[in-house]
Structure 1
């Protein structure tokens, strides 16, 4: 199959609100939605999973370094909990703990055609921070330390599809960022590879169509963050008849948004707007020893801010019969409350546009990336939306997508974000502050061929958007 043909094979019809038993997304699928849920329940029953909070003294091979106070693994690998100092215009603004994981891991999905329908090989993966233990994950989701077996456990299944001489045809390969509020310059390699030969299927994996996966993104805490970021980078197949109407004005406007690509002048204006937003950011951030972080204290079982407003660093003991290592201990970042990420959407000349924000986050490689219209950290309420007109508009908006989804379960403990796409009417002003811009879905997806443009929350919402067309 040629690269173009493979790209065009990435199809999926929208299925609306997901049904647990009979689904339009089952068309051409190797397994039905009913069979998926039966398999999913079996994976829960078959697993041996335990996550228990423990004091720091019970961590194996993790220690607080005497000179810096940083929490690090004895191998020098995996990640460390360090301090971060942020300055605004040369004035120290705040400091906090942050996860420093310089390794670049692989988040990869294997795809293969069956009877002309592209399927993705997805994994039922346990992560210690998952609120519901198992979530639907990429074929490979592994840090470099994991797939080079620093943990002295079993090898990573299907890794050979992504690295080495036997790897498949590469359809997507791009470095993308992760949470800039909690990670220091964290990046992962987002990959999709096409396999044409036989791919044996382990009991923790199943082939699902893109239509099925997109439908499952409408279910709370089912499709994990790592799967969502890879899915957001996939091209989307649209109906061939550009003039055909679905009978749904929102869906018609969304399809036009997928198609709409501005001329070179328009594309240049977007990049100029983004560059200007980055030059306006006067923040600087640097790593410091954890002992230098003010306003935080370390007890026997957590590192916490004195006001109890932000997050905690805790320790956990984990048992998982389906993982490469069956038992381990590790630190986790434990947020307080639920975050929120919301795109405002409205038609402009019949084409759906999303209101995008150029948002600084101190842990990002380049400090600023494009983000949803509203992005609130866990514990923050809608009263923290500074624009009163925006706050009022959201009260009357039509929610086209609304689900609570988990963030990275390997480093965060029960980190939840409410993801929403809110359609507002044409009376919502097109005049927006300088750090906001109206963009089409096509403009955003084109940017995903490159790293460091869209943040992880924006990419998650784009993956969810794919379930609506």
Structure 2
């Protein structure tokens, strides 16, 4: 099927969504904008949205302050987010109790991508957006990427473009609409509304926006630090268009573990895991020190909380200060894949992270910052980490991608998809092999796949 196959004659009905998405994914050379024009547009946006981000002492923060009683770091408005302490007791992982700073942001933001047909080919309205924590300034973002504080304009800035398309959309135009979590090690119960909504010709692209085919976005997913985390999580919520004629990814419903067994396994892991968390004052968080320039771990591990001063030509507010969480070390997020009786399966791990709302979500085969485990005995290091690093040279996907640039500074991970041999086993009850159809089904619901796994689902669909 080609793009021209979908130009409808009068009286014909529109093709099914999966077939339309398959055509968009096949349009790698572009539609409204050629690839050459796309890369030129991104370079121009990078130049136009130049920003200056500088580490500053906490005393230079404007509108933010440490609470005199608790030591928690808060905004004067009581909105946006706060950094507070958390005490954790868990039966997951090599360390069973600890305390740490964590970001608390109770409001639910909107991450939305508009979908519109051009000559029968669906295009995604993507935004070139600078974030203070990005290593390279501008990255490709959803049409709308805004917290409630942003879109209600607590900061006094300009209105968020295209917001009305997502606030109360016509249900018949909604392709995906699901609450999803963010990093459970750094956020406490953080969720965003991930949305894809079809729009009509009245929606046009502004200077910082471009209509791209799914094939073009998939192409950009193979470049380091181009497609941001918020765009990746929304893309993962698209229905899987591959094998549109015989079910998602062509697996026709067969799986090593039937759907009912997978649902029971997830429920059991959530019921049996013990993860007890309680907020505590940041000033009383054991093992963490507050200096004039950072809240940092006494052993120099994990992450720092720092302050930055930002000036930007491409944001609702031209200058501001804010805290950011800055991780120590580069992350690794690896997904192992193999064919079982000819059907592709991926190896997921049931992870218990302190910030998850529902105790356990499914993560990649490997998800860690290796430096944080170097002081531990080899048996306490993450399962499959050594295998992932050994097989990296032959990985089908190996791209460095940034995490949320609005809350994290220079947070990057090596995202890898590694093909394994047929006999490769699951080492414990924490792991299960799932088909691509099962991933697609779980992504219809909240709190099943974590944000790292969702990035790898989006990456898997580019192969």
TM-score w.r.t. the length of structure 1 is 0.89
What corresponds to 1:135 in structure 2?
Answer: 139
Match for residue 461 of structure 1 among 438, 456, 459: 456
Cα pair distance change 1:236/1:69, threshold 3 Å: same
2:85 & 2:385 partners in 1: Cα distance? Answer: 35
Deviation by residue 1:153-202 (Cα, 9 ceiling, x = unmatched): 10001001111478982111100000000000000000001002321221
Shift of 1:88: 3.3
SS in 2 for 1:312: strand
What corresponds to 2:165 in structure 1?
Answer: 161
SS in 1 for 2:445: coil
Cα pair distance change 1:83/1:317, threshold 3 Å: same
User: Which structure 2 residues correspond to residues 340-359 of structure 1 after superposition, within 5 A?
Assistant: 340-359=332-351
Shift of 1:264: 13
What corresponds to 1:76 in structure 2?
Answer: 78
Deviation by residue 1:199-237 (Cα, 9 ceiling, x = unmatched): 122100000000110111010000000000000000122
Contact 1:228 1:459 in 2 (8 A): yes
Deviation by residue 1:223-281 (Cα, 9 ceiling, x = unmatched): 00000000000012235676xxxxxxxxxxxx985534248992110011111212231
2:421 & 2:192 partners in 1: Cα distance? Answer: 37
Counterpart check, 1:151 vs 2:155: yes
1:291 & 1:350 partners in 2: Cα distance? Answer: 55
What corresponds to 1:251 in structure 2?
Answer: none
What corresponds to 1:247 in structure 2?
Answer: none
1:256 & 1:348 partners in 2: Cα distance? Answer: 16
* Consecutive unaligned residues in structure 2, runs of 5 or more: 1-11
2:370 & 2:257 partners in 1: Cα distance? Answer: 39
Cα pair distance change 1:402/1:13, threshold 3 Å: farther
Contact 1:109 1:120 in 2 (8 A): yes
What corresponds to 2:437 in structure 1?
Answer: 442
Contact 1:160 1:167 in 2 (8 A): no
Cα pair distance change 1:54/1:432, threshold 3 Å: same
1:415 & 1:109 partners in 2: Cα distance? Answer: 24
What corresponds to 1:285 in structure 2?
Answer: 277
Match for residue 307 of structure 1 among 286, 292, 299: 299
Shift of 1:283: 2.1
1:214 & 1:355 partners in 2: Cα distance? Answer: 22
2:78 & 2:248 partners in 1: Cα distance? Answer: 50
What corresponds to 1:45 in structure 2?
Answer: 47
Match for residue 38 of structure 2 among 36, 39, 56: 36
1:390 & 1:153 partners in 2: Cα distance? Answer: 44
What corresponds to 2:229 in structure 1?
Answer: 225
Deviation by residue 1:338-387 (Cα, 9 ceiling, x = unmatched): 00111111110011111111011011101210011111136346968747
2:349 & 2:166 partners in 1: Cα distance? Answer: 34
SS in 1 for 2:317: coil
Match for residue 197 of structure 2 among 190, 193, 196: 193
Counterpart check, 1:362 vs 2:319: no
1:389 & 1:190 partners in 2: Cα distance? Answer: 30
What corresponds to 2:407 in structure 1?
Answer: 411
Shift of 1:466: 0.8
What corresponds to 2:311 in structure 1?
Answer: 319
Contact 2:228 2:403 in 1 (8 A): yes
Contact 2:334 2:418 in 1 (8 A): yes
* Consecutive unaligned residues in structure 1, runs of 5 or more: 16-23, 243-254
Match for residue 418 of structure 2 among 419, 422, 425: 422
- Please, which moves more after superposition, 116-125 or 275-284? 275-284
Contact 2:257 2:433 in 1 (8 A): no
Please give the root-mean-square deviation of Cα atoms over the aligned residues, in Å: 2.6
- Number of matched pairs: 446
Deviation by residue 1:16-48 (Cα, 9 ceiling, x = unmatched): xxxxxxxx6015x11111111111111122223
Shift of 1:290: 0.6
1:201 & 1:340 partners in 2: Cα distance? Answer: 35
What corresponds to 1:234 in structure 2?
Answer: 238
Cα pair distance change 1:427/1:187, threshold 3 Å: same
1:387 & 1:82 partners in 2: Cα distance? Answer: 27
Counterpart check, 1:184 vs 2:188: yes
Cα pair distance change 1:392/1:26, threshold 3 Å: closer
Contact 2:64 2:75 in 1 (8 A): yes
1:119 & 1:173 partners in 2: Cα distance? Answer: 18
- Please, which moves more after superposition, 377-386 or 340-349? 377-386
Counterpart check, 1:57 vs 2:59: yes
TM-score w.r.t. the length of structure 2 is 0.90
Contact 1:257 1:351 in 2 (8 A): no
2:208 & 2:302 partners in 1: Cα distance? Answer: 35
Contact 2:151 2:160 in 1 (8 A): yes
Match for residue 116 of structure 1 among 96, 117, 120: 120
Deviation by residue 1:281-304 (Cα, 9 ceiling, x = unmatched): 122111111112011111111100
1:256 & 1:10 partners in 2: Cα distance? Answer: 12
Contact 1:400 1:422 in 2 (8 A): yes
Match for residue 11 of structure 1 among 22, 41, 53: 22
